[in-house]
Structure 1
Amino acid sequence: MEARKALREVREGKIKPYYILFGLESYLVQEFTEKLTAKLIEAEHRDLGVIRFSTAESPLDEILDEAETMPFLVPSKLVLVRDSVVFGTGRESAKIEHRAERLLEYMKQPMDSTVLVFIVPHEKLDERKKLVKLAKEKEAVVSFTPLPAEELMQWISKRIESQGRQSDPGAVEELLRRVGPDMSSLAAETDKLCLHAGEYGKVTVDSVATLVPASTEQSVFKLTEEIASLRTDRALALYYDLLKQKEEPIKLVALLVRQFRHMLFVKELGKQGYTPQQMAGQIGLHPYAVKVTADQAKGFSSERLSSVLERLAELDYEMKTGRVEKTLGLELFLLKTGSEGGG
């Protein structure tokens, strides 16, 4: 089941006796559990009505004993279970025994007064397991996949509008570029910008640039973009800013290696006809990061990307063995790579 459909059903009061939530977008998972909690249990009763477990610490027998116990002083209860081994593909601890057959029986005849929720922070469930198959048959499996760039921008815009503010063209895109696709960070920065804008105010590109610092990873994204666009002066300016922020050149080299490697992967997968969403799954990137990486890769040939990666490997070795001064070594790499272009 899609997350939107599950959330709509919760709002309408159509709540299932159990859910298996999986996916890498933890913000959306948290939002769903908060809406479910608010619908089920009044705020003053949540100490009694919300019980939390982890399959890394508690066996299924203990969790199901709780699920099968009638709620105390509240009409219903919510049992939240963080899990990687029962529905996921993680390894079970030798110290904790999970009797899957008991959970299977419970899922066939669940308690009316309990909502049991397993939260699996992984991209996929273990499709071979009977538990997963039964949960899918009951439409109790909910997927929380990262939002594409366009949907993220719409989500930010709606969050700004919901607070009675407006946004300038380009402000939302600049915010996404600076913060990256992490929805928790985006929510916090969006709320900060709305507070700064004031009632009926406007979030502008200038306010984003002034109030929202770019993360190191996003700065490296931008650094790579400037190199790809042959804007060596801007690349160097970014590098000097990172040095002022006490960023370690060896760490920056590692981030550059990762980004250029992703550019090569995206370029090769594109030749094979992969869609951005498929690329995201293959490489393990957020769809927004795939979009940015694909745009950057257009400025390089595959041969040039391989050459840059070889040079970065050499630079990393020279830095770590003291053959080159770290700050100067990376500066020379940026100068040379920018001057040679994408090949």
Structure 2
Amino acid sequence: MDAKKAFRLIKQDQVSPIFVCYGTESYLMNEFIERMLEQLVQPEHKEMAIVRFDTGETPLDTIIDEAETLPFLVPSKIVLVRDNVLFAAGKDSSRIEHRPERLLAYMEQPMDTTVLVFIVSHEKLDERKKIVKTAKAKDAVVSFGPLQPDELLRWLLKRASNQERSLGTETAEELIRRVGTDMHALAAETDKLCLHAGQGGTVTLDAVKTLVPMATEQNVFKLTEELAALRTREAITLYYDLLKQREEPIKLLALLVRQFRNMLYVKELGNQGYSPQQMASQLGLHPYAVKITGEQARKFSQERLAVLLNELAELDYAMKTGRVEKALGLELFLLKTGSGSAG
């Protein structure tokens, strides 16, 4: 099942005896677990009702023994298990011996008084494993992937609304442009802005620009936007600001290379008929990053992007071999690119 359905079931007090939570969006996964704990465990029962394990340190036999043991002095308990061994793909580097057949047997007859939750911080599960197939057949697997661009915006608007503050779409988009798509960082910045706005207030665009610093990678997004629009002055000003923040030209060059390369990939995949969601999966990017990259890529031809990547490769070599002073070399590239044709 997807995260939306899982949150809905928790809200309706329909909690399954087993969950296998996996995916790269740790914020949503943690929020789901917190909601479940709030629903099932009284605050005064937390010490007795919550048991934590890690399959890298504890045998599965011990975990299942705990799950099969009746709760003590509390009506029910939750067993939380961090797992990089049982459900995930890849080589098992753990020295702990596990017997998956114990878990398979438990899945057939889980305890009514226990909720067993496996937390797998991997993009995918190992579909070849019997325990994965069985968990899917039981509808116990919950996927926590990155939110789509419109979902991320709605999540920000709702977070502000829950705090009785107003947040407009344009302001939310600027917040994402400055912070990036990490939901932990976005939540912290949104809460800070809501505090600044005050009860019943509005989070303004000016407040975002004043109070929220732009992360380095987001600055590079902005830098490529200025180059795409042939706004040389703005690009150079932004570059000087980054140098004042002691950002290394070599690091900035590497980030530029990655962004121009992603633009090229997005154009090529778009020509092959890939959807934005498929592109995000193929490139390992957040869907919102694919959206912004696609918008930037439209201002460059594939040939132009290939030329720029070649020029950046030559500049990288020249900077690392001392043939050109690093800060000056990148500045000259920006001047040339920003004043050239973007077609």
Pairwise TM-score range, normalised by the shorter structure? over 0.9
1:291 maps to 2:283: no
Shift, 1:138, TM fit: 1.0
**Match of 1:221?**
221
Q: What does residue range 93-104 of structure 1 map to in structure 2 within 5 Å? A: 93=93, 95-104=95-104
Task: Please give the per-residue CA displacement for 1:40-84, whole angstroms capped at 9, x wherever unaligned.
Answer: 111122122112222222221222222122222222111111112
State the AA in 2 paired with 1:45. Answer: H
Per-residue deviation, 1:168: 4.3
Cα gap change, 1:124/1:168 in structure 2, threshold over 3 Å: closer, same or farther?
closer
Q: What is the alpha-carbon distance in structure 2 between the residues aligned to residue 268 and residue 89 of structure 1?
A: 29
Cα distance in structure 2, aligned partners of 1:265 and 1:109: 48
Instruction: Report the counterpart of residue 337 of structure 2 in structure 1.
Output: 337
SS of equivalent to 1:146: coil
Match of 1:144 in 2: 144
- Cα distance in 2 for partners of 1:168, 1:41 equals 36
Give the Cα–Cα distance (whole angstroms) in 2 for the partners of residues 308 and 331 of structure 1. 14
Aligned amino acid, residue 79 of structure 1: V
- Conserved? CA contact 2:79–2:117, under 8 Å: yes
- Inter-partner Cα distance in structure 2 for 1:54 and 1:315: 47
**Could you say which residue in structure 1 is the equivalent of 2:2?**
2
Task: Measure the CA separation in 2 of the matches of 1:143 and 1:219.
Answer: 31
Which residue matches 1:253?
253
Number of equivalenced pairs: 343
Asked whether 1:133 is paired with 2:129, we answer no
For 1:56, the equivalent position in structure 2 comes to 56
Residues 228 and 341 in structure 1, CA contact (< 8 A), matched pair in contact too: no
Moved more, 3-12 or 200-209: 3-12
Distance in 2 of aligned mates of 1:55 and 1:311: 48
Helix, strand or coil at the partner of 2:122: coil
- Aligned to 1:307, what secondary structure does the other structure show? helix
CA contact (8 A) 1:267 1:302 kept: yes
Identity rate of aligned residues, in percent?
65
- State the alpha-carbon separation in 1 of the partners of residues 43 and 222 from structure 2: 44
- Could you report, residue by residue, the CA deviation over 1:123-173 in whole angstroms, capped at 9, with x for unpaired residues? 211111111111111111111121111111111111111111113452111
Unaligned runs of 5+ in 1: none
Q: Which runs of 4+ in 1 moved over 6 A?
A: none
Alignment-derived partner of residue 155 in structure 1:
155
Show the counterpart of 2:165: 165
Deviations 1:176-201 (A, max 9, x none): 11111111111111111010011111
Q: Confirm or deny: 8 A CA contact 2:104 2:131 kept in the other structure.
A: yes
1:28 matched residue in structure 2: 28
Residue identity in the other structure for 2:238 = L
Q: Please tell me the residue identity of whatever aligns with 2:204.
A: T
Counterpart in the other structure of 1:204: 204
- Residue in 2 aligned with 1:67? 67
What SS is found at the alignment partner of 1:250?
A: helix
What is the SS of the residue equivalent to 1:230?
coil
Structure 2 partner of 1:78: 78
* Alignment-mate amino acid for residue 307 of structure 2: S
Q: What is the identity, as a one-letter code, of the residue corresponding to 1:10?
A: I
Matched, 1:38 2:38: yes
TM-score (norm 2): 0.97
Partner Cα separation in structure 2 for residue 36 and residue 318 of structure 1: 55
User: Whole-Å Cα distance in 2 between the matches of residues 11 and 169 of structure 1?
Assistant: 27
Question: C-alpha displacement at 1:250, in angstroms?
Answer: 0.8
